[in-house]
Chain A
Amino acid sequence: MAKVVFTPNIQRHVVCPEAAAAGGSVREVLDNAFASNPQARPYVLDDQAVLRRHMTIFVDGRAIRDRTRLSDPVTENSTIYVFQALSGG
């Protein structure tokens, strides 16, 4: 299962512990991670389940390209970092 790590900045608002979740894409992994922590989902994704404008996600050190469908591939050994961007806020 992929490892998902959330930015410390989000922890002030909602508990987001590191998670292990299955899936072949960022979308699948996040859906599974949020299934056990639904309160955290709207902090990362907007009403259309699109990555919030000032959030960013890295998979194995690379920023994802598909911020809408979150289709970037993930492997069993991937590490996903959910960060806030430096912009906005």
Chain B
Amino acid sequence: MNDTILVSTRKGLFWVGRKNGNWEIDQVDFLGDNVSLTLTDPRSGHHFVALDHGHFGVKMHRSTPTGWEAIAAPAYPPKPEGLEENDMWGRPLAWSTARIWALQAGGTDEPGVIWCGTLPGGLFRSTDHGDSWEMIRPLWDHPKRKQWMGGGADLPGIHSILVDPRNSKRVWIAVSTGGIWFTEDAGASWTQRGDGMRAEYVAPELTHDPIAQDVHCMAQCPAAPHRMWVQHHNGIFVSSDEGRTFNEITGVEPSTFGFPVVVHPRDPDTAWFVPEIKDEKRIPRDGRLVVTRTRDGGESFDILTKGLPQQHAYDVVYRHALTLDATGDRLAFGSTTGGLWVSEDQGDHWSNITCTLPPIYAVRFV
């Protein structure tokens, strides 16, 4: 069981710990600063934190036995002189890290390797625990990368990175908006995946184009890596062939719109979602905050409500703000209105830890 949760918020990093069966806020770091994401590297024990200082840019820190130390943030290479590249709005695209949106430890056979996904679409890899970063140029230079678009943000970004537990050179990423991309040579070459997904928000000719798919979050079952779950802008999709093809899950109440998805570490048929009214409203339906869970690969879903506010709740749960611990029993999620909930029984019952945190961007078990 994981007894510590790291909560990344608009105004600081909160450590939440379990003592005598109760969860409490133990410590606050970077109070007042915009914390966008954390990673705890299970191999080294390092914690990494991504900060967005706004005026002063995106920064990274790494834990030490006595506190935090500043480390390099991923930086884009020099933009070639004379190169004109515009974003979807026609504005010049800055080759500069606008947000750190994904952090993922490499495989157990490659200690020190950390993957990092960013806005406006650069993927980075460190081989020295974050001391330095190298951009994965074959992906950035891929001609189709320029077709990526902004989704919720103005710029495209990589938010999901999955490292194959059987072979660390095999990596999947998901882009909002740019679909799913796969490498089997640690980033030297990339192919698009994700046939079968469907986009409602593009011209009909592009509906089934894999690059048009706005994947909000992608999760993989560690014990059955062929199974992948996607929370998409207009639905839930599941793959049983490593993301080559997806089937859409329909008819899920109260909604198939949302941002996060997590999958059980050993049971590929069990996954959790936090539904919202699509897409122009993005609030829980009828003011009832619920989590949905399938235990049969999407054939049916439980609507989990016990311990969650069931009237006038307008919490939005972002893509990194739902998490599952290594046992597959403990879940935690946080919301844009500062609510934090934990379940010890796969979501059947929830406990509210606090309702007064700053807007929550990410929740991670340590």
Q: Tell me the A residues contacting B by CB distance below 8 Å.
A: 9-10, 13-14, 39, 42-44, 46-48, 50, 52, 54-55, 84-85, 88-89
Contact = CB atoms under 8 A, between A and B. Distances in A.
B93 to A, nearest CB: 11
A43 B53 contact: yes
A13 B56 contact: yes
A25 B210 CA distance: 48
B23 interface: no
A89 B55 contact: yes
B55 A52 contact: yes
B70 A46 contact: no
B94 interface: yes
B57 A52 contact: yes
Interface in B134-149: none
Contact of A46 (B53, B54, B57, B59): B57
A43 B51 CA distance: 12
A42 B97 CA distance: 11
B15 interface: no
Contacts of A43: 53, 56-57
Contacts of B75: 42, 47
Interface residues of B, number: 17
B55 A54 contact: yes
B79 A10 contact: no
B56 A46 contact: no
B117 to A, nearest CB: 16
Contacts, number: 47
B4 interface: no
A46 B94 contact: yes
B55 A84 contact: yes
9 A-B pairs closest in CB distance: A89-B54, A47-B96, A46-B96, A47-B76, A43-B56, A84-B55, A54-B55, A47-B75, A89-B55
A9 B75 CA distance: 23
Contacts of A39: 70
A55 B57 CA distance: 10
A52 B94 contact: no
21 contacts: A9-B55, A13-B56, A42-B57, A42-B59, A43-B56, A43-B57, A46-B57, A46-B96, A47-B95, A48-B78, A48-B79, A48-B95, A48-B96, A50-B94, A52-B55, A54-B54, A54-B55, A55-B55, A84-B56, A85-B55, A89-B55
B342 interface: no
Contacts of A10: 56
Nearest to A40: B56
